[in-house]
Amino acid sequence: MSEKLKIKLTIANRVYPLTIPVDQEFSLRESARKIESTIKQLEKNYAVRDKQDVLAMCSLQFAAQLEKYKINTSTSSTYDEEKIKNLIEMIEIHLGTY
């Protein structure tokens, strides 16, 4: 059974008490810091008064980054697979096993 840890994260001036596995603490704290940083940046660059609007914009920004990452990873993976297939084919032709 994994050990649980009780932590409190503050996001948009609200405290969220969480009970989490110990190995997730670092990533959750870093995520909360990144969200807070993005909120401050959005509030600085745009005249937004409502925290819900800022959180929606923050969510959209992170979702867009995730989609971009998924597309890049998928494209890279497909490209790598095609390259590997071509190399195997060239080796087989060279060895006369094709």
Q: Residue 53: which domain range?
A: 4-95
DSSP three-state, residue 68: helix
Question: Looking at the whole model, is its pTM more than 0.85?
Answer: no
Spatial contact of 5 and 23, defined as CB atoms under 8 Å apart = no
Residue 30 CB coordination number (10 Å): 10
What's the domain count of the chain? 1
* Tens digit of pLDDT at every position of the chain (98 positions): 579 999 999 999 999 999 999 999 999 999 999 999 999 999 999 888 889 999 999 999 999 999 998 888 777 667 777 888 887 888 877 777 65
